[in-house]
Structure 1
Amino acid sequence: MLCKEHKYQPFVLRNLEKFGFKQPTPIQMQAIPVAIHRRDLIANAPTGSGKTLAFLLSILHQVHSEEKIGYRAVVVSPTRELATQIFDHLRNLTSGRKVRCCLLTKNSAMAQAQDPKMRQKYDILVTTPLRLVHAIQNKEADLSHVHSLVLDEADTLMEKGFLEQVDEIMAACTSSQLQISLFSATMPSSVEQMAKTIMKDPVRIIVGTQNAATELVDQQLVFVGQEEGKLLELRNMIHRGFKPPCLLFVQSIDRARDLFHELVFEGINVES
C-alpha cells in the first residue's frame, strides 16, 4: 500500500521491512492519506495502535529534499520520555539516509542544534513544549519554514499547564503552508472544540470507540478509602506476587517524591 499508493522513498520501505513492519494498522491507513494531502487532522486511536508511526510516515513523505532551510517538521510531546521514544522510532525509519533529525529535551545534548551555524542542518525536530519555547525565546530555533506540526498526546498538550506553551509554538510557525496534526488516545469534547479554533477545517478520525479504555491493558478499579489506603494497596499487590517493573503515576512532583521515599523504605527498587 505505502509503495503503490503513496510512493514512499525506497529507504523508508527498506527500514520498515527491516524493523518488522508488515502492514499498516487502521489508524495508519486512515491518517496517512489525510496528512499526505496536507489536511489538518485530529486523530484518536487506542494506545498501541500505531499512532507514532502514522505521523512519522506522514512527515517523511513530505520531508525528502536536500534543502538546508532549517526545521520543516516539528513533533511536540508532553514528556521527554515520550519525545525520546518518538525520536528513536524516527532514527530507525531514517537509517541510512540523510534526513537530519534532532531531539530537544532538557537532558539531550543539543549544543550543536542550538548553535546558529548548525540550525539549518536539521529537517525534523522532536521536542517537549517547555524546551522548544525556551529555544524560541532565545532565538535558538527558527520555525518559520515548518510545514508540519504534530502534537502527540494532544489532549494533555491542550490542557492549562501546556496550552500557553503550545500557543507560543504555533505563533512561531509562521509558514502559510502549516499543517497541524493532533494525535491522542482520548480527546474530551472541550479540548476538541478548542483545537478546532487553531486549525483549518480539520479532518476527524476515530479508531475504535471514542475515549474507550484500551483492551490491551488489564484494568482494575480498587477502592482504597483515604490517601493512606493507596500505599497499603500497593504493598498488598506486591505481597500477592505482583512482579515489577511497573509505572506509577501520581498527581504532583511532591507526591512522587513522598512515594519514592516510602517505597525505598519498603526495600523496593525504585526510580523517580
Structure 2
Amino acid sequence: MASFDDLNLNTPLRNALEDLGFTTPTPIQEEAFGVVASGRDMVGIAQTGTGKTYAYMLPILRNLPYSKQDNPRVLVLVPTRELVVQVVDDIEKLSKYINNRVLGVYGGTNINTQKQAIAEGVDILVATPGRLYDLALTRVLRLNSIQKLVIDEVDVMLDLGFRYQLTNIFDLLPKRQNIMFSATMTNDVDALISDFFQAPERVSIAVSGTPLENIAQSRYKVPNFYTKVNLLIELLKDRDTFNKVLVFVASKKMADRLFEGLDAFFKDELAIIHSNKTQNYRLRSIEQFRKGDNRILVATDVMARGLDIDNISHVINFDTPEYPENYMHRIGRTGRAEREGHSILFSTEKENEFVEQIENLMQMSIPTMEIPQTVVISDELIPEERPKIKEHYNPLKQGEDDAPGPAFHEKSYKNKKENLGGSYKFKIAKKYNKPKTRGDKNYNKRNKRK
C-alpha cells in the first residue's frame, strides 16, 4: 500500500499531514498527484468522499513558490458557499507550515469587504462563479496571473446553471493548467471539457455507480409521507445507534415540512440546511452538526453535496432520488475514511421506478426491511400525494401558476385611482386655475381680477 512518502512531498506538507493524522493517500490522491504536478490538464472522476480536495491541493502546494505579488496564482471554483468555506479550511490545514495567503469569496456577503481582502494580496482564491465574475468586473480582482484553475464538483455547477458564468470566466483567464473534478461524467461536463481543455488526461477511480463496500444499505417500503415521518421518528429514538444522522430530502419545501414533523420530538438535536436559509444560518447548522451539538441534519442534495463531515453514522434517504447518481452522492456522506457506514432508503410505490434505476446502476439489490410494528401507518396524504381530479377545460379557473405570489398585495384605498382618460386634464386645469392654452399666459391674471 502506498504512503504519502511515495509522493515526494516536501517537509512542510508531510508535517501538516502528520498533524492531521493522515498516512495513506486515497486512490484518487495517489493517481492525480503526478498528473497535476506535471502541469498537464486533468479530469478526475471519483465518488464524493474520496479526498478530491487534497488530490489537487497537495501537488499544487508542493510546487507553489513563495511570492509577494498581490494577484492570485491559483483559482479554485466550487458551486456553493458552504464548499468555499470547507475548501479554504482544508487548504489552511495543509498550509500550516507554508507561507501563503488563502481567501474565499462567495455571494450573500458584503462585496466591498471582499474587495478590500483581495487588495491586500492573495495566492490561492476559492470562489463561487457568480461572485468571482462580479469581482472581476470591478477590476479590483486581476486574473491575469492565474497559473492553475481548479473546478470542483463541476457536474453540480452545471446543474445549478453556472455554465454561462464559467464561460465568461474562462474568457478572462490567461493560458493556464486546467484541473477538473466531478463525481459523474454527463454530456454537459463532456462538452465543457471539449471546449476549454487541452488534451486532458483522465483519472477515473471507480465507476460512479459502484457502491462503497463499507456502507451497509437497507430499504423500507413506506406508503406515504406521514408514515415516513413516523418511521423516521421511531428510528431516531435510538440515540446510541443513530448518533449522527444526515437526512436527505428532494426539495426545500419537503425539508421544511419534515423539519416541522421532527421538531416536537428532537428540538435541540435537530438542524436544517437549504438554499432559502440565510448564509449565517446554513454555516451555523453545518458547524453544529459537525461538532455534534446537533445529532440530526435535514438537507437538500445541492446543499450537502461535497461537504466533508466526519463520523456520520447514518444517511437516511427520506425520499428516493430521481437520478440514481444522486443516491451515490448521498450515501457517500457516510462510511468515509474507510469507516463503516449505514444508508437507509425510504420508498413509496411511486418511487419504485427510481429504486430500480439505482439498483441497476449499482448492479445489486438493496435489502428490504420490515417496518417496525410500533410505527403508525398514516392515511393522511400531503397535497403532492393526493390523486388529481380531472375536469373539463375551464378557462375561468385559476391554476397554481396563476395564483398571486408572496409579494402580491392589494392597493391601498388612496392608490385606487379612477382612470378618467382625456377628461382628467381638464378637471385638473379647472381645479388649479391653469391656462386654457399654452399661449394664454395672462389667463390666470384675468381670472384673478374677476
Give the structure-2-normalised TM-score.
Answer: 0.53
Whole-Å separation in 2 of the counterparts to 1:130 and 1:224: 40
Q: Which moved more, 1:187-196 or 1:118-127?
A: 187-196
1:71–1:120 contact (8 Å) kept in structure 2: no
C-alpha distance in 2, partners of 1:210/1:18?
A: 32
1:36 Cα deviation after fit: 1.1
Task: Give the match for residue 232 of structure 1.
Answer: 227
Q: Which residue of 2 is the match for residue 40 of structure 1?
A: 41
Q: Sequence identity of aligned pairs in percent?
A: 28
Q: Secondary structure, in 3 states, of the residue corresponding to 1:167?
A: helix
Q: Summarize the alignment of residues 23-172 of structure 1 with structure 2, pairs less than 5 Å apart.
A: 23-106=24-107, 113-115=114-116, 118-119=118-119, 121-159=121-159, 161-172=161-172
Q: Which residue is 1:195 aligned to?
A: 193
Secondary structure at the counterpart of residue 91 of structure 2: helix
What is the Cα deviation at residue 119 of structure 1?
Answer: 2.8
User: Is the 8 Å Cα contact of residues 46 and 214 (structure 1) preserved in structure 2?
Assistant: no
Distance 1:138 1:219 in 2: 50
Give the equivalent residue in structure 2 for 1:253.
252
- When residues 215 and 100 of structure 1 are mapped into structure 2, their CA distance, relative to the original with a 3 A threshold, is same
1:247 and 1:64 mapped to 2: Cα distance?
40
Find the counterpart in structure 1 of residue 210 from structure 2: 212
Contact kept, 8 Å, 1:41 with 1:204, in 2: the verdict is yes
CA contact (8 A) 1:158 1:195 kept: no
Amino acid at match of 1:133: Y
Cα displacement (A) at 1:4: 6.8
Give the superposition deviation at 1:156. 1.0
Instruction: Give, in angstroms, the shift of residue 270 of structure 1.
Output: 2.9
Aligned CA-pair RMSD: 2.8
Distance 1:211 1:196 in 2: 24
Change (3 A) 1:5 1:50: closer
Output the CA distance in 2 between the equivalents of 1:220 and 1:163: 37
More contact order relative to length (CA 8 Å, sep ≥ 6)? 1
Contact 2:233 2:262 survives alignment (8 Å) = no
Q: 1:56–1:90: 8 Å Cα contact kept in structure 2? A: yes
C-alpha separation in 2, matches of 1:11 and 1:46 = 28
1: CA distance, partners of 2:80 / 2:257: 21
Alignment-mate amino acid for residue 228 of structure 2: E
Distance change >3 Å, CA 171–CA 237, structure 1 → 2: same
Q: How far off its partner does 1:221 sit?
A: 4.5
* 2:13–2:94 Cα contact (<8 Å) kept: yes
Deviates more, 1:8-17 or 1:103-112: 103-112
Structure with larger Rg: 2
Which is worse superposed, 61-70 or 94-103? Answer: 61-70
Query: Given that residues 255 and 272 in structure 2 are in contact (C-alpha distance below 8 angstroms), is that contact kept between their aligned partners in structure 1?
Result: no
Write the letter of the residue equivalent to 2:164: E
Distance between the aligned counterparts of 1:247 and 1:140, measured in 2?
40
Q: Which runs of 5+ in 2 are unaligned?
A: 274-450
SS of the residue corresponding to residue 54 of structure 1 reads helix
Equivalents in 2 of 1:136, 1:86: separation in Å?
21
Deviation at 1:202, TM superposition (A): 0.8
Residues of 2 paired with 1:221 and 1:165: CA distance? 40
For 2:170 and 2:88, how far apart are their aligned partners in 1?
Answer: 21
TM-score by length of 1: 0.83
Q: Match of 2:74, as an amino acid? A: A
